[in-house]
Amino acid sequence: MNSEQIYEAITNLPEELPEEAAAHTFIKRKRSYWRWGAVAAAVALIPLAAAAILFSGGMGGMSSDGSGAEMAQDSEAMEDNSYGFSISYMDYAGPVFPLATLGGAEDLTADRIVTFDFSPYETRQETYETSSESYSYDRYDTEVKVTDAYVLANPTEEHVTVTAVYPFAAAFSDPLDLLPVITVDGTAVETALYAGPQGGEAPESWETYRAWLSDGSYREAALASATALDVPVTVYEFSALTAPESDAPNPTLSVRMTLDYDRTTVLSLGFDGGSWDRENGAMVRECSVPQEEEAGYGTSRYLIVLGEDVTDMTLRGCRSGGSWEEGSEELPGVTAGVRRYTSTLQTALEDLVGELYDGKMLWRSGGEVHLLAEIPRETCLDALTEALLSYGILSDDPAERSRCEILEDVISQVWSEKRVLYLTFPVTVPAGSSVTVTAELIKDASTDYTGGGAAREGYDLVTRLGSDLTFASQTARLAGAEYVEILRQNFGFDPERGVTEVTLDAAAEHYFIEVRKREG
């Protein structure tokens, strides 16, 4: 028997098993972030500002069946955030947040007009092509266009200059086109981008964001730098990997070492396989040796050792993976240069993030350009630091610390975690005058299932969460309503009767709309 036969057998499982698995809802375990602060102290680091934040969970609960249009306009219910039904999603895109400033906006007033444009729901024809045939099919998008405009008025006799902050919910791995474009009086402005810490669980409702942002500490953490990880490490760099010409299916470099699992933790980068033998104090890490035209060619691989150094390191080439297992075939001539040096975890991570900036990890997401391309190097490093402290090798869970951490896994997790990012930019409002700040963004739908056939697609906004602006008015507009059927909302839109613009209640924190594609 081999793994391909197991794969084939799994492929042919009765249909109801994969169906059931697709429909299964996992009960999410909440991660404690108090732990993070405790561990930071334990390793004699200055606690991160964000560590003081107590993160709390979303509201949970079951989703709507989306069976009919409902309105939830009771103001008391909205103040209590109790609509009589829950607004949570398995895949929550996050709300549209209001503009804020870093202070000094006391004399300004703001009129906000936010437009949700559903025209991407319009059906268009696209074509699939295979080598021999082509199919045309109907396609539409559920990413709506949002224009979030603010008229900032300055009634005083002095110019007012502020640093404006525009928050948006995203993951580093989201498409780059989710990055808002900011204009001031119609002219695009340069912005700086900051990322907040991940709050411990994937948000499922706007209440998670409310818990994160309500006291201001989340944004402070986003704008501050994480503390350096001055943990001493020994780094092994494996460079210039080569394999001889051969018919080997998968020339592999294998590194075997001896260690005490209670005293040593190994963080790897660039190794895609291996084995762990805690009982006998052995560890194997191995990687394919790429040929010249393949991804990863010419890149180094790393082992970062925390604690006691490893011993008896032995390199070996083999024809395929599983190099130290019985029956594996050795491949003489596989070589690599090995460099050993001591450093700190901080420096080692900086080097590796530098490598990521050379584009070596971007291919893992299919070559698509992601927000990551715009994330500053320090921000990436801070996020990795946070992950290693909270649920990685520096966490207080021995089961997690004692195993070999695969840095790609941590990075992948960090990249895919939803968080709040901030664009900052200067704005000057002349005395007795006003300027218009506009954020144009693409907002993905919140859904209960990321596949096709979602029963509802949700979009929402918050009116004042995290904002210090004094709002004279807030207005919401609906465009492209002909392409969607409104299932539930609390805006008060009624496009059938021509009501596509509504004034928002200043007392209401949150507005939402759920739609589905209009058939026909």
Partner 1 sequence: MEDREIVALYWAREERAIAETERRYGAVLRHLAENLLGRREDAEECVSDAYHAAWRSIPPEEPQSLRAYLGRIVRNLAVSRWRAEHAQKRFGGMETLLSELSDCVPARDNVEAELETKELTALIARWLRGLDAESRALFLRRYWYGETVQALAKECGVSPSQMAQRMLRLRRKLRAALEAEGVTV
Residues from 15 through 34 that contact partner 1 (CB under 8 A): 15-22, 24, 26-31
Measure Cα distances from 288 to 80, 356, 362 in Å. Answer: 56, 19, 19
Q: Say how far residue 74 (Cα) sits from the centre of its chain.
A: 34
Least distance to partner 1, CB of residue 170, Å: 15
Residue number with CB closer to partner 1 (112 or 419): 419
Report the residue from 220, 309, 351, 400 that binds partner 1 according to the rule CB under 8 A.
Answer: 400
Residues of span 403-442 touching partner 1 by CB under 8 A: 403, 405, 409-410, 412-413, 416-417
Question: Is the distance from CB of 198 to CB of 384 less than 8 angstroms?
Answer: no
Least distance to partner 1, CB of residue 464, Å: 29
14 touches partner 1 by CB under 8 A: yes
The DSSP annotation for 210-278 comes to HHHHTTSHHHHHHHSPPPP---EEEEEEEEEEE--S---SS-EEEEEEE--TTTEEEEEES--EEEEET
Report the residue from 44, 76, 80, 129 that binds partner 1 according to the rule CB under 8 A.
Answer: 129
Residues of span 279-298 touching partner 1 by CB under 8 A: 288, 290-291, 294
Cα–Cα dist 122/70, whole Å: 23
Among 184, 255, 65, 155, smallest CA distance to 424 is for 184
Helix axes 377-391, 34-42, angle to 10 degrees: 90
Among 441, 397, 431, smallest CA distance to 170 is for 441
Least distance to partner 1, CB of residue 33, Å: 12
Amino acid sitting at position 16: E
Least distance to partner 1, CB of residue 30, Å: 6
Cα–Cα dist 302/464, whole Å: 46
Q: Binding residues for partner 1, how many (CB under 8 A)?
A: 73
Strand 160-170 and strand 100-101: pairing? antiparallel
Least distance to partner 1, CB of residue 27, Å: 7
Least distance to partner 1, CB of residue 169, Å: 15
Cα–Cα dist 94/458, whole Å: 10
Options 14-22, 40-48, 76-84, 459-467: segment touching partner 1 (CB under 8 A): 14-22
Options 74-82, 352-360, 393-401, 477-485: segment touching partner 1 (CB under 8 A): 393-401
Residues of span 218-257 touching partner 1 by CB under 8 A: 249-250
Report the residue from 44, 103, 130, 496 that binds partner 1 according to the rule CB under 8 A.
Answer: 130
Least distance to partner 1, CB of residue 285, Å: 13
Residues of span 444-503 touching partner 1 by CB under 8 A: 450-453
